Structure 1
Amino acid sequence: MAGSLQDQLLGAGLIKDQKAKNIKTNKRKAEKKSRKTNTELENEAAKLGEEAREAQRLKSQALNEETRKAKELKEITAQIRQIIEMNSVFKGKGDDLVIYNFTDFNKVKAIYVTSKNHDLVSRGRLAIARLKDVYHLIPAEAAVKIQERDEGSIVLLNDAKENTDTTVEDDPYAEFQIPDDLMW
């Protein structure tokens, strides 16, 4: 397999003698013209190789970006799980539990908590977080940290400012007392 590519193609019978002569003539003319005008010959193979390298580089960058985003999402999920597990508040057990109703994905869900925790959730001091379809009570500060990473993990976080006991001047029901045993 010695010789140029052109000789090899001629030997294999893939091109004819006249075609090979035309290619040599065109190549010599192009070289002569480039010497006269002091320009370099265009190397199509190098150009195609450079385009292929550029396409490969762009593809590699896109794949790296996708991998980086997947890794980042995995890290955020692990951070959320750790925050929930470390800050989970005991819901209570026994017969003294009360039910707290809330919505999750447009469905009404219920969680049994102590009356103290019920009050804290209502006032916005505790929040309800979802971890693998299990609901946990966590402090509001931890819920804010989780919401910074992913809002979908926090199911309920009442605004503590809304729940402060302030009287409205034009409240027509201000003179009526709310019963102590009323549960919403």
Structure 2
Amino acid sequence: MADSLRDQLLKSGIVKQVREEQRAKVPKDARPPQGKGKPRPPQGRRDEEIDLARAYAIRAQAEAAERKRAEQAAAEQARLKRERKARIQKLLEGQVLNKAEADQVRHFEYGGKIRRVHVDAEQLAALNEGRLGIVQQNGRYLVVSQAIAEQVRAIDPQQLALLVDPNEATDDDGVPDDLMW
């Protein structure tokens, strides 16, 4: 069975260390004389309780500091993500080539799932040749030029959903490996 926290602290030496720190704080001349006057009650149990309480306090402070560091790191990551998203949004303004009257579907893998975007015949050929790319922004898949796709890749590679490399090896049917349909 697992040891109690008190036993673990005693084994780790934290309680002993705290006890030594307390002794160092009290000057020798302020300590009660040994062997003279009234007999002192045993202090061992009380010292252990004080040391244990102090050990709990030290542990609580360490945990609080760790939580604070983790929260600060998470806040910093969120801030950086917002900045990248804003930069990509600004970059995409007026650069999206999606067409409402697109009649063909281009399937691609993104995020471990098969996704699709509607394009016309000209855009489909350009996507397959690598002259156009697809960027994911706010849950939508946007068709953009190769230059814009490369800039998005530089800012945040996870937002680039598809950019076919024309020099990529193809399998035996002549279709690049990332072209599913």
Q: What TM-score, normalized to structure 1?
A: 0.50
Checking the alignment, whether the CA contact within 8 Å between 1:91 and 1:114 is kept in structure 2 is no
Partner of 1:144 in structure 2?
154
What do the CA deviations read for 1:122-169 (whole angstroms, capped 9, x no partner)?
Answer: 34454423233211245223223202xxx3x33323335428xxxxxx
2:136 and 2:55 mapped to 1: Cα distance?
49
Q: How many residues align?
A: 132
For residues 145-184 of structure 1, what are the structure 2 equivalents within 5 Å?
Answer: 145-147=155-157, 151=158, 153-159=159-165, 161-162=167-168
Letter in structure 1 aligned against 2:63: K
Residues 157/57 of structure 1: CA separation in 2 closer, same or farther (3 Å cut): farther
Q: Which has the higher contact order (CA 8 A, sep 6+)?
A: 2
- Partner amino acid for 2:33? K
For structure 2, the residue ranges without an aligned partner over 5 or more in a row are 1-30, 37-42, 175-180
Q: Which residue of 2 aligns with 1:32?
A: 33
Q: Which moved more, 1:83-92 or 1:116-125?
A: 116-125
Query: 1:56 maps to which residue?
Result: 60
1:128 pairs with 2:134: yes
Residue type of the alignment partner of 1:93? K
Please say if residues 102 and 118 of structure 2, whose CA atoms lie closer than 8 Å, have aligned partners that are also in contact: no
Output the aligned Cα RMSD.
4.1
2:80 to 64, 76, 83: 76
Q: Distance in 2 between matches of 1:34 and 1:119?
A: 99
Q: 2:107 aligns with which of 77, 101, 104?
A: 101
Gaps of 5+ in 1: 1-29, 36-40, 164-171, 175-183
Three-state SS of the structure 2 residue aligned to 1:32 is coil
